[in-house]
Amino acid sequence: MVDNSLIRLEGLRKWFPIRKGLRRKPSGYIKAVDDVSFDIKQRETLGLVGESGCGKTTIARCMLRAIEPTSGHVYYRKDGSFIDLTALEPDDLRNIRQEMRLIFQDPYSSLNPRMTVRNLIAEPLIVNGVARGAELELKVADLLQKVGLRPEYMRRYPHAFSGGQRQRIGIARALALDPNFVICDEPVSALDVSVQAQILNLLQDLQTEMGLTYLFISHDLGVIHHISDRIVVMYVGKVVELGYAESIFRRPTHPYSAALLSSAPVPNPELRSEKGQRAVLRGEVPDAGSPPSGCYFHPRCSHAQDKCRNEYPDLRSISNSGNGEHLVACHFAEQFSFKGVFDDFEAGGST
């Protein structure tokens, strides 16, 4: 089988020490990301979904080495072979970071209000010595046009723009260095619903035009459904389900994924699947500093049995998807038939 991965995470961990007492010795660890492995294929959009605090953004920060992982590896394909980003020296990492960019959640706070749009977009080009003079001006104008803004706006400041326009400026800034891989960290959650679809469509158009690969982080399943090819569902720092979006939205297999989907708003509720069991999400997300024994989801799972309380389930392949790789961390995954969002994915359309 041809390996067309662009990024591969292997056993990634980020544990934050809990320090107490005068000597500040660690008394335990918050396992924000714990033994996470998945790959992102070239030109695909991988959706990363889960409740707040499940480790989504920590994974993104570890991938870019904005924070150092505790252990594990992040491999990035460059010129046909994989480089371990966790082992790179700062100079080499700086070069690779030009190919890996981040689109932030909040278009209001992520842009310096004292800089013009021209300077905001030109900054990465100047810092990395990519362009200057007339070439720089042309590149900024071209980037503005790419994201649907008029080049005449480049002398204005961010406050003169709406939320959607500011996010377009943030996208232009992220794309300035012509990256391969872009992490979109909740890029539409601060925007009005009416503007969200425009930004999602823009991201999809840019992906096609520039051959981009996305890691798309969101807690909003409607957004994830709209944009993702495959989905990773996270719970308390661990991957609990991974598969094609179509498979998971039609027939979720992990009780947590099923409960998330059953609580997601559907544009037309009549399209919601009538087949299968309905899963309900009850209780609170446990503390990542002292997760429950066995399967972390067992205190909230109405299907929990003794084995669930004692043994953490491995992430393993199951065969019921019929659409490529489908991994689930549940002892009893084969026994469930949960309601999906749609019986017919195509009929469900997108948000």
- What residues form DSSP beta bridges with 182? 101, 214
Residue 213, strand partner residues: 181
The residue from 173, 251, 331, 339 that contacts ligand SF4 (CB under 6 A) is: 331
User: Quick one: which segment of 95-103, 124-132, 147-155, 324-332 binds ligand SF4 (CB under 6 A)?
Assistant: 324-332
Show Cβ contacts of residue 124 under 8 Å, excluding neighbours closer than 6 positions: 130, 173, 176, 177
Region near ligand SF4 per CB under 6 A, out of 153-161, 172-180, 211-219, 302-310: 302-310
Closer CB to ligand SF4, 120 or 329, in the complex: 329
Pair 232, 221: CB distance under 8 Å: no
Decide whether 34 or 44 has the Cβ nearer to ligand SF4.
34
Handedness of CA 170, 172, 176, 177 (dihedral sign): positive
Quote the least distance from Cβ 236 to ligand SF4, whole Å: 12
By the rule CB under 6 A, 298 interacts with ligand SF4: yes
Say how many residues touch ligand SF4, by CB under 6 A. 13
Residue 261 and residue 279: Cα distance in Å, rounded? 9
- Name the segment binding ligand SF4 (CB under 6 A); options: 109-117, 151-159, 275-283, 327-335: 327-335
End-to-end distance of the chain based on CA atoms, in angstroms? Answer: 34
Q: Which residues on neighbouring strands pair with residue 272, listed in sequence order?
A: none
Kindly state whether residue 54 participates in binding ligand SF4, applying the rule CB under 6 A. Answer: no
Sequence-distant (≥ 6) Cβ neighbours of residue 61 within 8 angstroms: 67
- Per CB under 6 A, the segment of 146-154, 192-200, 294-302, 315-323 that binds ligand SF4 is 294-302
**Residue 1: exposure state from Cβ atoms within 10 A (0-12, 13-18, ≥19):** exposed
To ligand SF4, the closest distance from the beta carbon of 294 in angstroms equals: 7
Minimum distance from CB of 278 to ligand SF4 (Å)? Answer: 15
Give the bridge partners for 30, in sequence order.
16
Among 10-18, 21-29, 192-200, 293-301, the segment contacting ligand SF4 (CB under 6 A): 293-301
Alpha-carbon torsion (125, 129, 130, 131), positive or negative:
positive
Binding segment for ligand SF4 among 22-30, 90-98, 169-177, 328-336 (CB under 6 A)? 328-336
Residue 27 or 320 having the CB closest to ligand SF4? 320
- Residue 313 within binding range of ligand SF4, rule CB under 6 A: yes
* Position among 301, 315, 327, 341 found at the interface with ligand SF4 (CB under 6 A): 301
- Phi, psi torsion values for 168, nearest 5 degrees: -65, -40
Q: Judged by CB under 6 A, which stretch of 39-47, 271-279, 292-300, 340-348 contacts ligand SF4?
A: 292-300
297, 338, 342, 345: residue in contact with ligand SF4 (rule CB under 6 A): 297
| Residue among 106, 197, 332, 343 that touches ligand SF4 (CB under 6 A) | 332
In the shown chain, the binding pattern of residues 218 to 257 toward ligand SF4, with x for contact by CB under 6 A and - for none, equals ------------------------------------xx--
- Residue from 46, 63, 184, 330 that binds ligand SF4 (CB under 6 A)? 330
CA of 135: how far to CAs of 132, 182, 341, in Å? 6, 24, 49
| Residue 273: exposure state from Cβ atoms within 10 A (0-12, 13-18, ≥19) | buried
Two tokens at 146?
A: 């790419």
Longest dimension (CA), the chain: 69
Other beta carbons within 10 Å of 283:
9
- Cα gap 26→137, rounded to integer Å: 51
**What residues line the site for ligand SF4 (CB under 6 A)?**
254-255, 295, 297-298, 301, 303-304, 308, 313, 330-332
